[in-house]
Structures are given as structure tokens and as C-alpha cells.
Amino acid sequence: MQRDQAQSKIRRGRPVTLSCEDRREAIFAALEAVHAERGLDGATMEAIAVRAGMSKRTLYTAFASRSTLFRAYIDKVANGFIRPLPDSDTALPIAERLERVLSQGRHQGYGLPLEILRAFVAEVPHAPDIGRDLVQTLMRRDMCILKAELERGLARGEIAVEDTTDAALLLLDMVRPWPLESLLDPDCLATPEALATRQKLAIQVFLKGLQS
């Protein structure tokens, strides 16, 4: 009996071993929490490790640098709000399909807290790959999903367009706010209602041009 109690104490005293995926999620949650409390300057690797309940060595085992962590966070956020339409929505008219694609959890920061977006921009001169990753992960993923819906519309005779890639990029330019305004002056940010109105108008104008 005493031996069993002793072994039980040893087991309870051992640190919980997280899977690689759980460890990454804990780090991402810590990044968001530290940023919310201390801002960008306070989101150091040491502070993130403490909040995540792990050593800096463990943190650096998961992410070799702060930039690497930021880039992985970009990918996580993108996976959360830039997604193709579910099969159940693909039978909808093209205007509704485009609206649903463009309404998936977006806000003025392209799905990212503006301060974190500023952090990525600030890192670009020292780590240019992070800028390319931002473009590849967020903006080109948007473009590819819209391109697929435009090609679906082309095959169904809903629209007439020669280059669906250029058309997708044009629609994104029409829908998205100018990012420099958001980064430089938060007071310029449109409300979610204003962005939704702009999105509907942009889709209407865009489709009218392709159907003429």
C-alpha cells in the first residue's frame, strides 16, 4: 500500500508531457496573451515561454526564433479564416458564394490583430522572408480560393472572363481596405458594418462588369 502511494506521488509530480501540436497551441495562446498585456515590445521569447509554462529551451526547440514563431502564427491564423467553401455552399449563385468566401472571419487586420500585423511589418527589414510569408500565406491564399470560385462560375456560364487570376486579384483590391491606413491610423478603420456594405457593392459591381 505504501509503495503504491509512493509511486502515485511520483507520477503526480512528473511534468505533463504535451504533444507537439498541444505545445504549439500553448505557445500561440501565450503569444496572444502576452501581447494583449504587454504590447509588442513585451512579447519577448522569455515572456512567452513563462506564460506558456515552459523553459526558453523548450520554446526554442519548437520555434528557432521570434520571427519563426511569428510566421507560424500567421499560418495558424490564416488556416482559421481563409478557407474554401464547404461542399454544401458550392451550389449557391456566384454572388452568394463570393460573399461567403470574403466574409469568413475577416476584419481590418486581415484576420490578425493590428499590433501583431505591425510587428510582422517591422520584422521585414531584418527578416525579409517573413514579409514573403505574409503575402504567400494570407493574400495568395485568398486569391487562390476566389480564383477557384470564379472558375466554377465560368464553367457554369455565370460569368465571362479570360483570366480568373487577374479577376480574383481585382476583386480583392475592390473589397479590402487600404492596409496602410489601418497600420498608420487606427481611427481610419471602417466599422464591420461599413466593410460589409463595401463588400456587397464591390461584388455587385465586379459581377456586373463580368456579365456585360
Q: In this structure, what CATH number is given to the domain that contains residue 52? A: 1.10.10
C-alpha 190/C-alpha 95 separation (Å) is 23
Higher-pLDDT residue of 50, 194:
50
Contact predicate 73/134, CB 8 Å? no
In a domain, 6, yes or no: no
Domain identity same for 38 and 70: no
Query: What pTM was computed for the model?
Result: 0.64
Q: What pLDDT does residue 54 have?
A: 93
Q: Does 86 map to a domain?
A: yes
What residues contact residue 177 under an 8 Å CB cut-off, 6+ apart? 108, 189, 190, 195
Please list, in sequence order, all residues whose beta carbon lies within 8 angstroms of the beta carbon of residue 147, skipping any fewer than 6 positions away: 164, 165, 167, 168
Q: How many domains does the chain have?
A: 2
If DSSP codes are grouped into helix, strand and coil, which group holds residue 71? helix
pLDDT of residue 1: 47
pLDDT bracket for residue 2 (50, 70, 90): very low
The CATH number linked to 196 is: 1.10.357.10
Give the pLDDT score at 53.
93
Its domain, for residue 42, covers 17-64
Q: Are residues 38 and 74 in the same domain?
A: no
Side chain identity at residue 166, one-letter code:
D
pLDDT, position 40: 67
